[in-house]
Amino acid sequence: MTKPSDLPPPPRASQKPHSYERHGVTIDDPWAWLRDANYPQVGDEEVLDYLKAENAYFDAAMAPHKELLDTLFAEMKGRLKEDESSVPVKDGDWLYWWAFEPGAQYRRWFRKLATGGPDELIFDEPTEAEGKDYFRLGAMEVSPDGKLAATLVDDNGSERFKLRIRDLATGEELETVTDVAIGSPVWSNDSKAVVFTEVNENWRSYRARYHRLGADPADDVTLYEETEELGFSVGVGKSQDRSLIFIATGDNATSEVRFVSADDPSQPLVLIAARKEKREYHVDAAHGKLWVVTNDTHVNFRLAQADPADPGNWTEVIPGSDRVYLRGATSYRDHLAITTRIDGLDQLILRTYSGDETRIPFAEASYSAAFGGNPEFTPATYRLGYSSMVTPGTVYDYDPASGELEVLKVQEIPSGYDASQYETDRLLVPARDGKQVPVSVVYKKGFERNGEGKLFLYAYGAYGHAIPPSFNSNRISLLDRGWACAIAHIRGGDDLGYDWFLQGKLQQRTNTFNDFVDAAKGMVAEKFTRPGRIAINGGSAGGELMGAVANSDPELWGAVVADVPFVDVLNTMLDDTLPLTPGEWPEWGNPITDAQAFEYIRSYSPYDQVKRQPYPPMLITGGLNDPRVTYWEPAKWAAKLREYKTDTNLLLLKINMGAGHGGKSGRWERLHEVAETYAFILTQVE
C-alpha cells in the first residue's frame, strides 16, 4: 500500500484572499483563483502548473502498483471481445451495425441491403480519430433516402459538436453546417434538410435551426429559440411514424413541446401545451393522434391521447398509479411499446390500440431491461436489451404473435465467465426516516457474510436517473478477489418511482446522502462488511454524494473515488454565467434569490463543508475541457482537503488535460481509468 510517507510532498495550491457576501453571509474562497478567468480557454500558467503537479503526484503514487494496474487492465480487456459488433438493425432497405477491429479503440459503422449484398463502410471512427487525443461520434443520422448521413463529432471533449453532411456512396464530407451542435439532428422527409440544435457560448442548448442542404449556414432559419428561461434546454426529435418533427424545451422539472410536419419543417410550429411549472410531458405520434406521457395529474405519470388539431386537449388512456411508474411510450403501427417500473424493476409492455396488454416476461428476480433498436414504424418483432448483476447483456427480439423471445446475441466474455459461480441479492435496508432503500449486491459463491468482507458500493442519486442492477464485466476483477459489489438505489434517482426522485432534490437533497450512509450501515448489519472496509465510488452528481459522505461519515469508508465530482455546489449555483447553473436550479434550488436555498446548499456543499478531521484515502478525477463539472471543482476540493485533513492517508487528484466529462474517449483508455480506480481501492482498503 502506497502511503504519503513513501512519496515526495504532495502539491500545495497557494491560498489567495477572495471573499464575497450573499444574504448577509461572508464566504471565503482562497482557492477561487484555480478558475482561469478566460475559461473555457485555460492558459493561466499557475493554474496549469498546479494541475500538472497533481498529475505528477498521481503518477508517482500509482507507479509502485504498475504490476497490479497492468494485471487489472489485462483482466478487464480479456473480458471484452476485441472484434465486438452490434446486432444489425433494419431501417428501410438497409441493415445497419457497428464493429470493432481487434486492438482498435473506436468503432467502424457498416450497412448492407436487407435483401443481401456487400457490406458498406459508412463511417470509420479509427480513421477520423487518428492523431487526435480525443474523439467522439455523438450522432449519425441517415437521410430517409439512404444517401446521406448527418454526423456530430467532438474532438476535444467540450461537447460542442461539428455537424457535417456526408455522402454515403463516396464518403465525402459535403458541408459543415455548424461547429456548435449538440444532441441528434433530424432529417426532413425529402432528405434535403436537417433540423438541429446549437449551444451558445455558455454551452446551453438554446435554439433549433433548419438547414437546407447546399445553402449558406448563415442563412439557416431559427425555428425556435428559448428566450424566457435561461435554464431550459432545446431538443429535437421525430415521431415514430416519421410524420412530425418535435421541438421540445424544458429543464428537469418542466417541459413544453411544439411540432411541425416533417414534410416541410419551415412551416410555423404548433404548440401542444404551454409550459406549466413542474409539469412534464413527452409526445409521440401515430394513427393521426398524439400520444402524451405526462405527470400533470399523477406523480408517476399517465398516458393520454390528443388530436393534432387540438393538441392541448388530452384524453386519458392509462391513468396514473401509485405502484406503477410509467416511464415512456413509443407508438408503433400495431402497438404502444410502454416502459414502466414496479418496485424498482423494469417492465416492458406491448399494448394494442384496442387496449390489450402483454407484459414481456423475464425469469430473474432482479434485472434491467429496455426496448432499443426499433427504428421502423412497422416492426414484425420488437428488439430489447436485458442483463442482471450476474447475467451478461443479452439482445432479444420479441415476437408478439408467438410470444417468444429470440436470443440474438449474448455478451461474450472471451477470457471465460461462469454465471453459476456468482450470486446476487436485492436487500431492503432501513433509512433513518423509515424508508426502505433497495440495495443490489453481487458476490462470488463462498463469500462469507461474517462482518469482515470488503465491499465496493456505488450510487448516483440525482436527476431522477436510476442505476439499474445490470451486468458489468469489469467488476469481476473485484468479485474474484473476494469483494462484494453493490449498488445503492437511493433517493434522487427514480428507482422506486418519480416521487423517489423528488424526495432527493431541493430541500430534501440530504435524503440522498443519508440513504447512502444508511445503506452502507445496513450492509454492515447484514454482515457483508465492516466500517473501514467499504470502498465507495460515484461520478458527477454522484461525486457530490462522495464528498458529502466523506465529510459526514469518514470512518465508514476504506477508500473514496470521486469522478468528475460536483462538489463546489454553492459557488456554482451562485454563478448564472456557468453553462449548467440556471438549468440546475430546479434540482438544487436558486441560492441567488432564495436565502433558504443558500443556507441549505451551504449546509451540505462538499467543498464548503470540508472539516479539520481525518479523511479516508481519496482519488479525485476531473477533465480540463469538461463543460458539465468544470475542472476547478475537483481541483479546489483537493486543494482544500490537503489543507484541512488531519490524517496521513493518500489523497490523489488526476485531471485529464485533453478530455471532458466522460473521461478519455477510446475504449482501452476508458478501461485503463477503471483499472486505476480498482488498483487504488485494492491498495488502500486493508
Q: What is the largest CA-CA distance in the chain?
A: 73
495-497-502 Cα angle (round to 5): 95
CA distance 514 to 496: 17
Q: Can you identify the CATH homologous superfamily of domain 1-81+532-544+557-564+607-686? A: Alpha/Beta hydrolase fold, catalytic domain (3.40.50.1820)
CA distance 286 to 292: 11
CB of 370 closer than 8 Å to CB of 383: no
In the chain, the amino acid numbered 472 is N
pLDDT of 625: 84
Cell of 124: 470509420
173-187 vs 244-250, strand pairing mode: unpaired
Q: Say what the pTM is.
A: 0.93
3-state helix, strand, coil in the chain (%, to 5): 20, 35, 45
**Residue of 540, 553, 563, 665 marked active site:** 540
Q: Is 219 labeled as catalytic in the residue annotation?
A: no
Q: Is 626 labeled as catalytic in the residue annotation?
A: yes
Cell of 671: 478501461
B/e letters for 651-683, b = 16+ CB within 10 Å, e = fewer, are bbbbbbbebbbbbbbbbeeebbbbbbbbbbbbb
SS3 343: coil
161-167 vs 148-154, strand pairing mode: antiparallel
CA distance 256 to 240: 19
108-113 vs 120-124, strand pairing mode: antiparallel
534-539 vs 454-458, strand pairing mode: parallel
CA distance 68 to 79: 17
CB of 4 closer than 8 Å to CB of 648: yes
What are the residue ranges in the chain where pLDDT is below 70?
1-2, 659-665
CB of 306 closer than 8 Å to CB of 329: no
Cell of 234: 432545446
CB of 239 closer than 8 Å to CB of 246: yes
**Residue of 282, 489, 661, 672 marked active site:** 661
pLDDT of 304: 98
DSSP line for 466-519: -------GGGHHHHTTTEEEEEE--BTB-TT-HHHHHTTSGGGTHHHHHHHHHH
**Residue of 477, 626, 665, 672 marked active site:** 626
Q: Enter the CATH code of domain 418-530.
A: 3.40.50.1820
Q: Is 661 labeled as catalytic in the residue annotation?
A: yes
pLDDT of 545: 98
B/e letters for 340-364, b = 16+ CB within 10 Å, e = fewer, are bbeebbbbbbbbebeeeeeebebeb
List every span in the chain annotated with CATH 3.40.50.1820: 1-81+532-544+557-564+607-686, 418-530
